[in-house]
């Protein structure tokens, strides 16, 4: 990863009040929406429980992608309820998504007030996906935003870029299997 991109990420985290505001709003909303769930959420929690208990043969599923369940299985070591662990994971993914949105706005050289307004409006959309859906759509959006940052910042002709873009494509497929045709198109385009 280029050094200027790492500097940009550090600068955006330390100097951005929108991310701090997002975290404050998310933890306030966590109190009210901590037990809101959908049917897919129960399936992801069940699969992560199987991974956590070592039942790998029972955890394999043809419908739900394993990436969110793997991340949730890592958080099962914490002494909290699994549904709250999912909410914490979703809040963390939302913060990373907000950082990637800020990076894209900086790459596109948006004016400062426009960047702040668009980032502020993104907070509410991200919180919708954090608290009212139990799907890996936010994780998928986060990964695709970082893939877009890679396309914009790195030189496309280098083999290292193509390998990392392929790795991101594999991660997207692990996140949601419906993206297989789209990722194959992107990899052919490279």
Domain span at residue 178 reads 3-189
How many other C-beta atoms are found inside a 10 Å radius of the C-beta of residue 59?
A: 20
User: How many structural domains does the chain have?
Assistant: 1
CA torsion, ordered 24, 26, 31, 36, to nearest 10 deg: 180
State the average pLDDT over residues 131-157.
Answer: 80
- C-alpha 176/C-alpha 22 separation (Å) is 26
- Does the structure show a pLDDT above 60 at 77? yes
Higher pLDDT, 84 or 186: 84
- Residue in the structure block whose two tokens are 């280029």: 2
pLDDT band at 94 (very low <50, low <70, confident <90, very high): very high
pLDDT at position 33, please? 83
Kindly indicate the confidence band of residue 136, based on its pLDDT and cuts at 50, 70 and 90. confident
Instruction: Note whether 44 and 145 are within 8 A (CB).
Output: no
Determine contact, residues 131/88, Cβ cutoff 8 Å.
no
Asked if residue 149 lies in contact with residue 143, where contact means CB atoms within 8 angstroms, the answer is no
More confident residue, 159 or 55: 55
Helix (H) or strand (E) holding 120: helix 112-132
Tens of pLDDT, residues 153-179: 776 566 677 777 778 777 877 887 665
Minimum mean pLDDT among 75-89, 117-131, 143-157: which range? Answer: 143-157
Please check the confidence at residue 81 and state whether its pLDDT lies above 60.
yes
- Measured between alpha carbons, how far is 21 from 69 in angstroms, rounded to an integer? 28
Question: Among candidates 37, 34, 32, which has minimal Cα distance to 134?
Answer: 37
């Amino acid at each position: 990863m280029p050094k200027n991109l790492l500097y940009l990420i550090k600068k955006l985290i330390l100097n951005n009040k929108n991310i701090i505001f997002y975290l404050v709003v998310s933890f306030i909303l966590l109190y009210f929406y901590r037990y809101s769930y959908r049917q897919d959420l129960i399936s992801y929690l069940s699969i992560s429980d199987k991974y956590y208990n070592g039942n790998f043969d029972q955890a394999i599923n043809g419908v739900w992608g394993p990436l969110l369940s793997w991340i949730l299985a890592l958080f099962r070591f914490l002494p909290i309820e699994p549904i709250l662990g999912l909410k914490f994971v979703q809040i963390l993914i939302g913060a990373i998504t907000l950082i990637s949105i800020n990076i894209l706005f900086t790459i596109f050289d948006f004016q400062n007030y426009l960047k702040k307004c668009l980032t502020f409006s993104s907070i509410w959309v991200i919180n919708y996906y954090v608290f009212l859906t139990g799907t890996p759509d936010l994780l998928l959006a986060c990964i695709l935003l970082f893939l877009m940052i890679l396309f914009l910042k790195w030189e496309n002709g280098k083999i290292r870029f193509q390998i990392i873009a392929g790795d991101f494509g594999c991660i997207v497929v692990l996140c949601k299997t419906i993206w297989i045709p789209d990722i194959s198109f992107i990899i052919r385009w490279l």
